[in-house]
Chain A
Amino acid sequence: MLIYDEHIQLCLEVASHFRLRGCAFDPRTRAFPEALAITNANGKVVTITPKRLFSDPGMQASGGLFADEDLSFDLQLFDLFNEKPQDVKITWKNEHEIWSLLESLKSDVSQIGKSPKIEIGRRQLIVLSERGDPLRACVDRLHEWQPNMMVKPYTSGISMAFMDMETLREHEDEILTHAESIVLLTHEQTYPLVMREEPWLASSASLVLVGETLRTDGWLGGFANVLSSFVGPVADAPLSPHLLYMLLSHLVGYTELFFDTHSHADLYLYQSGNVFSGVDEFVREQVQEKMTHDIVVMSKDRLVDLRQAKGGDICIVVNQRKLSCLMDIFGKDPYTFLKEAYQRGLKPQNIVI
């Protein structure tokens, strides 16, 4: 959420009783506001000092702030106050209150309404459904069940939007330019419409097709396979309010895995194979040179046939960004892992050392 005070600009991405994550800017000093502080209900004050700051270009850009300066903070409130605070306020120069958690919760109570307030943020979870769609019935059922369930302060800062195609079109620019989006839609009703009318969505968001099963989603890069593996056996059941709830709560529960994938540094994780001589040095060099491949298969000879992965000197590393598409098969042997990666539409890169 964006807060424009008369003195400073503040953007909060996660705001709960446990965590505050956001960024702030003082237009007069063109830097992070001096003496910006957090206060709990007992009046204890903790100032956000420069050593707590870092740069989160994505979040800062979405808040309209300079991307490359240290303007962001991520605070664990229990650690700061040694208790779960009843309320948290952000104050400036000890006197001027800019924001309060309790006030914020009061104003954000109904996001899954019959006329839902559509919240657009940097990390966006969209449930796309049309009238008469089984997914719409599930959304309505969730709303009746617990209207406050998906309020942003409780969803790790993920913005939830329940919308139809027409509303999606209205927000196309925001989703394309700022948001890292995951879109849930049905493969019977909505997906054909998206492919016909809004093909940009498939390349700018991670799509999760729900319907009779999640099985066919492997073609969409494996995202749904990983999600299913977290959700468990219920993921194979037909679409129901319960399944939708499970999908949404796992997506917001594993935020670091499913979101923020583009902002991760290119950290390569060992997947399988022999770490033969030169592999360590090669990976280090490549990371320094900003190598961005998703899956790298290093080998002494060029690999042209997948069967070559069954033996010999090969070593597979995976870019951390792609864990959201591969985590469920991470322990597999090189051949099985690569075969599955290909079946998910990914492109492993072979590099001869």
Chain B
Amino acid sequence: MILLISETPVAGTVARLAKWLGHFFGKPCHPIIMRNYPNNSFRIPMGAFSSLPAWPDVLKDLVERAELIVIHNIYAKSQANNLIYDVVFNCAPPKAKILFQVHSPPLEAPGGLYRPLNDYPFHGSLVIAQGYGRFLPEAVSVPNVVPDATYPFAIQKDRTILLPHMRSTEFRWSGKVTEADHHRLEESAPFSNGYAVTNIHEIFGREAVTHEEVMLRLAATSIVVDDINTGLMHQTTIEGLKTGCYVLSGADMYTIEQMCETLKMDVPPVELVSGINDVIYHLSDPQLDKRVNEMREKATAFSEEFLAEERLARIYYGQLKTAL
């Protein structure tokens, strides 16, 4: 039996991985997710585990039968988290392998200093292949398994530019698209060839939305602006490519190398930019429509070849086995 344990749904990743790992290992794989985000923004397949009155006993029973345990992004030193680590490291069978998967950058919430990796004897660690390898060079790089989306109806693309990042700070790794960048984009809107800037809050009226909701809206969106400042890549780029959008991303050379090597693919067809000035330059180009159409075609072909959910899941499975 395989256990994936996390404090939150980690943007739906844990439940998705459980489905695919169960399939490839041919063994039951259970996602143990302690609680949901505010507004219950992600569906948790088995419900919030911490709502069970005797959850430590249930967890102990599961851990004692597990062959592989992957802990996802649990950092905070709360009583519940300490209990999870105590149960996992004291009750797991001697032959069981215990891994840690990092989803967040260091020195910023919730990742902090990756203390659990120093405090507990993990057999290995995994990082998402979107530039996060720089934080833990010794970790095994794994793809973000982003689901496919197909619809039984035709969807027309409108002339919108979607900025899906709601939470942006001044910290090194969270300043994906800053307030100042938003302001500059709004100022330059009259020169953006008739494309209108929008964001998650404007569309949905709230800040946390599920992957399925974003994918459907992206299917009707022409241009997506991912992180343009930090050098990392986020799920938005993959979602944008899979829905045939023209994606602008500030992914740096490190990120592209890590992603291409892990996913065994060519450089993704995104417009690589370094900051808001580059973004405005591309959006105000009189040839923008031609570029959008050209890149959208490339995005669709690229996603079919390299970003199919099953392919990503198979690579994840292969990489996970190298970490064991």
**Chain A residues within 8 Å of B, Cβ to Cβ:** 187, 191-192, 195, 199, 202-203, 209, 212, 216, 219-220, 303-309, 338-339, 342-343, 345, 347-350
Contact = CB atoms under 8 A, between A and B. Distances in A.
B231 A347 contact: yes
Contact of B135 (A199, A203, A219): A219
19 contacts: A191-B113, A192-B112, A195-B108, A216-B113, A219-B106, A219-B107, A219-B135, A304-B267, A305-B253, A305-B257, A306-B253, A306-B256, A308-B253, A342-B134, A342-B252, A342-B253, A343-B135, A347-B252, A349-B274
B112 A338 contact: no
A226 B4 CA distance: 38
Nearest to B108: A195
A199 B169 CA distance: 11
Contacts of A304: 253, 256, 267, 272
Interface in B236-292: 252-254, 256-257, 260, 267, 272, 274
A203 B253 contact: no
A189 B211 CA distance: 37
Nearest to B257: A306
B170 interface: yes
A338 B253 contact: yes
B107 A306 contact: no
B183 to A, nearest CB: 20
Interface string B99-130: 00000001111001110001000000000000
Given A216-B113, A219-B107, A219-B135, A345 B256 contact: no
Contact of A305 (B112, B118, B134, B260): B260
A116 B314 CA distance: 61
Nearest to A309: B253
Contacts of B171: 199, 202
Contact of A303 (B107, B109, B253): B253
Nearest to B268: A304
B137 interface: yes
Contacts of A220: 107
Contacts of B257: 305-307
A97 B256 CA distance: 65
A24 B138 CA distance: 53
Interface of B: 106-109, 112-114, 118, 134-135, 137, 170-173, 231, 252-254, 256-257, 260, 267, 272, 274
Contacts of A187: 113
A297 B85 CA distance: 44
A186 to B, nearest CB: 11
A187 B256 CA distance: 31
A295 B284 CA distance: 29
A339 B306 CA distance: 25
Nearest to A342: B254
Most buried by A among B114, B170, B253, B257: B253
Nearest to A305: B256
Contacts of A309: 253
Nearest to B172: A345
A305 B252 contact: no
Given A345-B172, A350-B253, 15 more contacts: A187-B113, A202-B171, A216-B106, A216-B113, A216-B114, A219-B106, A219-B107, A219-B135, A220-B107, A304-B272, A306-B254, A338-B254, A342-B254, A347-B252, A349-B274
Nearest to A347: B231
Contact of B118 (A212, A219, A338, A343): A212
Contacts of A347: 231, 252
A341 to B, nearest CB: 9
Contacts of A303: 253
B278 to A, nearest CB: 12
Contacts of B172: 345
B104 to A, nearest CB: 12
Contacts of A212: 118
A343 B138 CA distance: 12
User: Would you list the 10 A-B pairs with minimal beta carbon distance, nearest first?
Assistant: A342-B254, A306-B257, A306-B253, A343-B134, A305-B256, A219-B106, A342-B134, A305-B257, A187-B113, A306-B254
Contact of B254 (A203, A216, A339): A339
Contacts of B118: 212
A11 B172 CA distance: 36
Most buried by B among A195, A202, A345, A350: A345
A313 to B, nearest CB: 16
B82 to A, nearest CB: 15
Contacts of A339: 254
Nearest to B134: A343
Nearest to A339: B254
A347 B109 CA distance: 21
Contacts of B112: 192, 195
A304 B253 CA distance: 5
A349 B267 CA distance: 19
Nearest to A307: B257
Contacts of B113: 187, 191, 209, 216
A209 B112 CA distance: 13
A202 B134 CA distance: 20
Contacts of A192: 112
A309 B108 CA distance: 30
A339 B108 CA distance: 22
Contacts of B108: 195
Nearest to A191: B113
